[in-house]
């Protein structure tokens, strides 16, 4: 469980326990269930990070809902995270976080075609060895907060935790043209362990 969970889960669980001792069962069960869901939502399962060179791993858990080609040959892979998916985000490559931009915006449903363009988001640019990728943490209809734990200048390792999106969301990753794509639309991926591409 990531650290962001404690300030949300502990008060709720504490209230549930207090109500339990007061024999207020309905209230106790309600708050204990809510606290349990918060702990589940903020889980951080162990992942085996591939160590072969030139690989790009998924920055998030979820379902690949779109792969779009850009004007200069780059590809954008969009991953939709349901409320039941793991919501921590990971660095897809090893390298330096060159920039972090927060963009205010709307809160359209994360699966909406326009979400990548108009929704609130963090835009991270990571410069690796011979590759530059962009990761967008995109807020959704339910997810109203995008969190990045890193700052420009930080050196990241492939699969390292970089942030979190609360309660349902979308993550886009933009990869360069010279990348062999290794996922397809409809495929489920795991952050840090699923290989989405290999740069040449």
Strand partners of residue 103: 121
Q: What is the pLDDT of residue 144?
A: 65
Percent of the chain with pLDDT over 90: 60
11-25, 113-127, 132-146: which is most confident: 11-25
Distance (Å, rounded) from C-alpha 90 to C-alpha 95? 12
**pLDDT score of 143 more than 60:** no
The total number of residues shown for the chain amounts to: 200
Q: What is the pLDDT of residue 1?
A: 66
- With contact defined as beta carbons under 8 Å apart, do 157 and 21 qualify? no
What's the pTM value of the predicted model, to 2 decimals? 0.87
Q: What is the pLDDT of residue 92?
A: 98
Indicate which residues carry an active-site annotation: 169
Q: What is the pLDDT of residue 83?
A: 82
Least-confidence region, from 36-45, 52-61, 127-136: 36-45
pLDDT tens digit string along 98-115? Answer: 999 999 877 776 666 676
Q: What is the pLDDT of residue 5?
A: 66
How would you class 73 by CB atoms within 10 Å of its CB: exposed for 0-12, middle for 13-18, buried for 19 or more? exposed
- With contact defined as beta carbons under 8 Å apart, do 154 and 40 qualify? no
Q: Sign of the CA dihedral 165, 171, 174, 175?
A: positive
Render 22-91 in DSSP notation, one character per residue: TT-HHHHHHHHHHHHHHHHHT-----PPP-STTEEE-SSSEEEEEEEE-TTS-EEEEEEE-TTS--EEE-
Q: Return the CATH architecture of domain 55-199.
A: Distorted Sandwich (2.70)
What is the distance, to the nearest Å, from the Cα of residue 98 to the centroid of all Cα atoms in its chain?
Answer: 19
CB contact burial 136-157 (16+ within 10 A = b; e otherwise): bbbbbbebeebbbebeeebebe
Cα dist from 151 to 50, 98, 99, whole Å: 24, 9, 8
**pLDDT score of 178 more than 70:** yes
Q: 20 vs 159, which has greater pLDDT?
A: 159
- With contact defined as beta carbons under 8 Å apart, do 42 and 2 qualify? yes
Q: What is the pLDDT of residue 169?
A: 82
Distance (Å, rounded) from C-alpha 164 to C-alpha 147? 5
Write down the mean pLDDT value for the chain. Answer: 89
**pLDDT score of 128 more than 60:** yes
- With contact defined as beta carbons under 8 Å apart, do 87 and 8 qualify? no
pLDDT tens digit string along 79-101? Answer: 999 888 998 999 999 999 999 99
Q: For 48, which DSSP code?
A: P
Q: What is the pLDDT of residue 109?
A: 67
DSSP, collapsed to helix, strand or coil, labels residue 168 as coil
Render 102-137 in DSSP notation, one character per residue: EE--B---TTSTTHHHHB-EEEEEEE-SS-EEEEEE
Q: What is the pLDDT of residue 171?
A: 95
């Amino acid at each position: 469980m990531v650290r962001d969970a404690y300030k949300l889960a502990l008060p709720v669980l504490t209230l549930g326990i207090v109500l339990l001792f007061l024999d207020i069962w309905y209230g106790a069960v309600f708050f204990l269930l809510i606290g349990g869901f918060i702990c589940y939502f903020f889980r951080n399962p162990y992942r085996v990070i591939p160590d072969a060179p030139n690989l790009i791993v998924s920055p998030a858990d979820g379902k690949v809902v779109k792969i779009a080609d850009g004007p200069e040959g780059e590809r954008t892979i969009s991953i939709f995270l349901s409320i039941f998916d793991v919501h921590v985000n990971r660095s897809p490559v090893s390298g330096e976080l060159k920039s972090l931009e927060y963009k205010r915006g709307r809160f359209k449903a994360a699966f909406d075609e326009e979400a990548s363009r108009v929704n609130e988001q963090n835009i991270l640019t990571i410069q690796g060895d011979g590759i530059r990728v962009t990761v967008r943490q995109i807020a959704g209809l339910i997810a109203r907060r995008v969190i990045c734990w890193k700052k420009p200048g930080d050196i990241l390792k492939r699969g390292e935790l970089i942030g979190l999106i609360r309660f349902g969301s979308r993550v886009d990753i933009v990869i360069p043209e010279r990348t062999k794509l290794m996922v397809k639309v409809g495929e489920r991926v795991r952050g840090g362990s699923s290989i989405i591409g290999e740069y040449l």
